[in-house]
Structure formats: structure tokens, C-alpha cells
Amino acid sequence: MRPDVFAAVMATGIVSIAAADHGYRWITDILAVLAAGGLVVLVVLAVISWRREPLDLRDPDVVVRLFTFVAACAVLDSRLADIAGVGWTLGTIALIVWMVLVAVAVRAMASRRWSELRDQSHGAWELASVGTSGLVIVLAQLDRLRVVAMVLWVVAIAIYCLMTALILGRAFAARLDPNGFEPDGWILMGGLAIATLAADRLHSGFAVVTWIAATLWIPPLLYYGIRHLQRPQARRFDAVWWGMVFPLGMYSAATYATAVNTGWASLREVSLVFFWVAFAVWLVVAVAGLVQLTTTRSRT
């Protein structure tokens, strides 16, 4: 079980939210059920697996990927907030796990030099920022904790800037080799998209700024993504593809929120386009994952 196994729940949950934005009731309900059920199943499997083979929490890459659990709880919290007790439960769990992971991540990263962190970094490292922004969205729903949520939003942006500096530092050191692109690179955009949604929940004017910044990431990510897909091995299914579904769904949700906040009606259409793109990619990745799982079981 990979430490970022909960990325599938993140992706499914945010596509469900994007579907709800555009009134696709059947799609949003089915995806919400799959996300909720998937979270429970994955928690059980992860506990069993990690008890047998404990994760190396001294490795920054392992710790950062675990923030998918925080983000998954936050996304589901937003989607299922109308169900009594669910919001508080998921929000409390997300907050506790976030505090633990932050402490462990700081310890793991402090033990390494900048050059070591740079050479190890990749798109998934933005998950620390994504998880923090997700927690902001949860806390923003509670008036008593709005100030705390604002502080955490600043922390999320600071983490994003730190991780982006590491990732771009590695990219320039490798001379921007397109063969080094991975689908989780889209989290560079997704980190700003979820920060946009968090700022919108806080009624902050920075939401437009982060949305524009997220939008500017799309052309280069698309360019390097197409270049990467020209490699035959890149077209094989890997769990890392969930790291691409989530940003696409999150951009749809963030764009919809921006449209509502600014009154720019054309952004609703942009949001709708990205919803269908995200949903299509979700279907491809889900089917590919099931095929791989079936094939693996048949061989064993």
C-alpha cells in the first residue's frame, strides 16, 4: 500500500463536488458513495498493510504523500457536510492527522540538506499544501475558527512556495527534461486551485489571484504532459495518475467558485469543460486500475 493511496479518494470526492456544482445529481451521488466507501476500505487495508510493513517516516517523500489522507477527509467533509455528524468527525480526524504529519514532516525534512530535498522532490510534494488548504476549507465553515483558518491559508501558500521552489530547482537542474514529467506534476496547478477554493470560503480577494496563478500552470503542464505520453512506458497504469485527476476536478470546482464570486459568467462554461475532462480521466484511471488489479490477481 503506497503512502499516497488516498489520492483515489481525493480525486473521486472532488469530481463529485464538481458534478454537484453543475447539477449532475446521479454522477455526484454515485461518486460520493464510492469516495466514502473507498476511504473506509483503504483505511482498513492501510492499517493491515502498514502494521506488517511499517512506513519509513524518516523519509520526507513518504510523509508528504500521507497528506492525501488529510485532503481526502477534507474533500469528503465538504461533500458530505449536510449529513449530521459526518462533518465534525471527518474535520476532527483531518485536523489531528494534519498536526501529526506536520511535526513528522518538519523533522524528516530538517534532517536533510536543501540539495538532497531538491533532488528527491516531485509534484506530489505539493500534497502538504493541498492537505493544509483542505483543512482551511473545513475550518472556514466554523465561525469560531475562521481566524485560525486564515492563518492556515497563509501556511498553505508558504508550503506551496517552498515545495515549488524545490520542484522547479530540480527541474532546472535536470534542464527541464520532459522525460522526467509525471502525472503528479499537475498538483502544481491543483495546489493553487484548492487554495483558491479555500480563499473563496474565507471570502478573501486573494481567490482571484490564486485562480489566475493556477490557470497559468495549465499550458506548460499540458505541453510536458503530451511530451511525456509519447513514451510507451508512460501510458501504463500507475496509481500516480490519480494525482492528475484531482487537480483537474479541483480546477473545475475552483473556477466555478470564482465565477460565482466575480460574476464572470463565462467561467461557468470553463468549469463545465474541466468537469467533463476530469470525469473522463477519472473513468479511464478507474477502469485501468480495475483491469490491473484483476490481471494481478489472476497471475497470483
Q: What is the pLDDT of residues 7-18, one digit of tens each?
A: 999 999 999 999
Q: Which residues contact 204 (CB under 8 A, 6 or more apart)?
A: 150, 153
pLDDT in tens, 220-252: 888 877 776 666 665 565 667 788 899 999 999
122: buried, middle or exposed (CB in 10 Å: 19+, 13-18, 0-12)? buried
Quickly state the pLDDT bin for 156 (edges 50, 70, 90): very high
Of 248, 226, 230, 245, which is closest to residue 284 (Cα–Cα)?
245
| Nearest-angstrom CA–CA distance, 229 and 262 | 36
Rg value, the chain, Cα: 18
Position 234 scores a pLDDT of: 57
Express each pLDDT in 248-274 by its tens digit.
999 999 999 999 999 999 999 999 999
pLDDT at 295: 67
pLDDT at 177: 54
8 A C-beta contact, residue 17 and residue 249: yes
